[in-house]
Amino acid sequence: MAQRWHVLLLSLAAISLWGTPGGVSGSGLYSPNDQVTIVNGGNFDRIIFNSSNAWLVEFYAAWCGYCIDFAPTWKALAYNIKEWKPAVSLAVVNCANPKNSNICRRFSVLKYPTMKFFKAFSKPTFKGKHFENHGAASNVSSLRHSIIDSLEEHDENMWPPACPPLEPISMAEVQNFYAGNNVQYLALIVEQENSYLGREVILDMLQYENISVRRVLNNEENLMMTLGVREIPSCYLYFADNTHRKITVKMPTRTFYTYYLQRLPGVTRGAYKLSPAGATLMPTEQPWRDFNSARIYMADLESALYYSFNVEVATHQELSGESLTALRRFIRVLTKYFPGRPFVMKLLQITNSWLAKVGTTPISYADFANVLHNKNGSTEALFPNKANWVGCQGSRPQFRGYPCSIWTLFHLLTVQAAKYNQSMAQRTEIQTEPREVLNTLRQYVKYFFGCRECATHFEAMAAESMDQVSSLNEAIMWLWSRHNRVNNRLAGAQSEDPRFPKIQWPPPDLCVECHNEVEGAHLWVKDEVLKFLKVHYSPQNIDYSYLEGLQELLKKQKPKKITQQEQQKDGPEEGERGIEEAERQRKYGQAPVTIEEQRDTSVAIKGIRRDASQRRTFIKRRHVSKGEEDIVDLDLFVSEQYRRQALKENAEIRRGSLVNDGVYRLQMHLQSIDDSESLDYAVLQSRLQKQGIGNGHLVAIAEGKNWLHLLGVNLSRTDISLCILLYFLSTLCLLSMYLYFKSRFHWRKWKIRFASA
């Protein structure tokens, strides 16, 4: 009785939507993303009849309560047998749409849902075979078995061309198999006669090449003896040299056997046939990198950031409003949870601080790029300058890459957030917001992800159930389940890499405990899945292979061009340094200093650079031939000498330093500024000669070396003049005091003599 009221309420709710645009238009209960084909009165004959594959069509009404209850089962069935499409496909017709009333009447649909099976190459006069196993009480396993039964009813002459044979194989056929078949593997599923395991695996492997799967019945005694079968069901690989090998899996079920066979070396999905004619399977532009699928690679994670910031975000000339907020949140989450290398994290922190200062003020992408590319020249803060896929590399340049790496990054962030919250909970009572990462990813995908159709699908999934996430562990599992849903939707699409087909993840070889099967239906052991995800997406599982070190990245950076505007922004000290650099280039015609040289020099001469308030020391000489005053900037020359010496020592130390994770750690030992031997007088003489100053003008510098050494190179002529003036005034003061006391003494002496007289 309760079930009847439940159905009645669902029916009334659906009827109330009859007048809505969605109800009239026939959008119904299904979409093309559900692995089903939506047919109507206009395309039914063209799609269903004379087709090389069989069709199972559901006739339903969007307002029908039973149809609403049955829709999840039908969708699950479509996902479950998506590999069977070349042999049999699923379709739906919404009879609630007035445009489909003729087609539903034509096939005598009197109740909902009604399912009819259309064999391959059926003619328009065929009304379809009534499919008995249907209704809300049906399950995926029973429907799958009924489909196999219907397929086997095909006549030999009308058999679907893409469907492999489903009948058992004999001993004679096995022995002569390789004589007429050009494949690498023959997989034999040993089972009982009433078992559907072998036929399901055969259809699961339908789209895979270089392998053939056949079933062996337990009454085939000779073949059973040859294989040495001891348990049923079981699976064996039979090779061209008449040898065989048993396949060992956790459970002898369809899920484990199918996955094992799909991963055999040389076995590939035939999806590449969907590519344009004449296209061949080409390698990627970069050499192939061997990788371990059980690890995640920092190269992929950093490549995701590179592509995201330099390609996806770069499509926005201006960032304002919600797009700026989405970017700011994304950077903040990365700064908080991303376990990156030190120089990557430093630049993320700089970018995050800058965006926090900007607030809601609109910015251009150029401004963002200047910070992202470290135009201010902060020490050891940068991103990689190109994409470098490893675990996400594809068999062709257009496969995998960024979509694979961004999913990996998303999973990593959800796991890191959970671990961060667990760590903080032990010290404080502050709890991380459960949907912090998910909401950030949702906004990023909405505003920046380049595939707009993919972004629409993700937004639909988020709107459906993301608000129901109430813990960080649920956030991890939500993203995992939605990723698998996307894999289901894209399985067999042209974007699928034939070398890396879309699967339900994690596969059995990575987490055997995550899988189970009950009554022929696959089940996830979600507690084990959560444990696996937390281990797999942990910093301890990150592989740092194929990464460029800090010094290699610094060498590839473009030299920083100093402009007057940048000098003003840098402040007094940085501005003066920029002016000095520009003056040096103007005077001596030297090439600009690269960022690496500036960074090394800034470390090398730290503590000997002049303060902005200090004045330069100049030596002025009269130029005889031109009759004008030439000025030699001795301070600048000294700084250049120490700069050259520091760079030389830095290079020597770098060659002898140790490498840790690709990052050079430099230790520099500098000489004192008072070391007079650091002055290269030969170089100074050559520069004076370039300005037309003779050798005699160098005498003053050579003769003045000692007093410059005593007084310091930072004293100017004015400073020396002031010292002389103060010395003269102090001398006058002492002389005046001497004369005063002397006169007082003589006056007292004469006064005594006068009094005595």
Residues 146 and 180 in one domain: no
Crossing angle of helices 2-16 and 65-80, in 10° steps, is 90
Crossing angle of helices 342-358 and 365-372, in 10° steps, is 150
Output the CA–CA distances (angstroms, integers) from residue 184 to 210, 211, 264, in the order listed.
5, 6, 10
Would you say residue 192 lies in a domain?
yes
Which pLDDT score is estimated for 276? 35
Residues making up the chain, counted from first to last: 757
Would you say residue 291 lies in a domain?
no
Would you say residue 716 lies in a domain?
no
Those residues with Cβ within 8 angstroms of residue 423's Cβ, 6 or more apart along the chain or in another chain: none
Q: Let me know if 67 is a catalytic residue.
A: yes
Check which CATH number belongs to the domain holding 181 and give it.
Answer: 3.40.30.10
Active-site choice (67, 95, 163, 514): 67
Instruction: Flag residues of the chain having pLDDT under 50.
Output: 1-26, 134, 136, 271-284, 559-639, 642, 646, 651-681, 683-684, 688, 690-691, 693-713
Q: Is the pTM of this model over 0.75?
A: no
Active-site choice (64, 104, 163, 404): 64
Burial readout 297-331 (b: 16 or more C-beta within 10 A, e: otherwise): bbbbbbbbbbbbbbebbbebeebeeebbebbbbbb
Residues 310 and 456 in one domain: yes
Which pLDDT score is estimated for 441? 94
Alpha helical stretches, state H, 373-435: 402-425
Which pLDDT score is estimated for 697? 45
Residue 238: name the closest of 173, 191, 193, 164 by CA: 173
Which pLDDT score is estimated for 687? 52
Would you say residue 719 lies in a domain?
no
Domain end position, chosen among 130, 158, 186: 158
Specify burial of residue 388 (Cβ count, 10 A radius: 0-12, 13-18, 19+): buried
Q: How many domains does the chain have?
A: 5
Residues 488 and 597 in one domain: no
Which pLDDT score is estimated for 563? 44
Would you say residue 622 lies in a domain?
yes
| Residue 454 three-state SS | helix
Residue 601: name the closest of 584, 622, 625, 586 by CA: 584
Which pLDDT score is estimated for 68? 87
Residues 529 and 567 in one domain: no
Residues 357 and 491 in one domain: yes
Residues 399 and 430 in one domain: yes
Residues 84 and 195 in one domain: no
Domain end position, chosen among 128, 158, 188: 158
Range of the domain at 400: 296-543
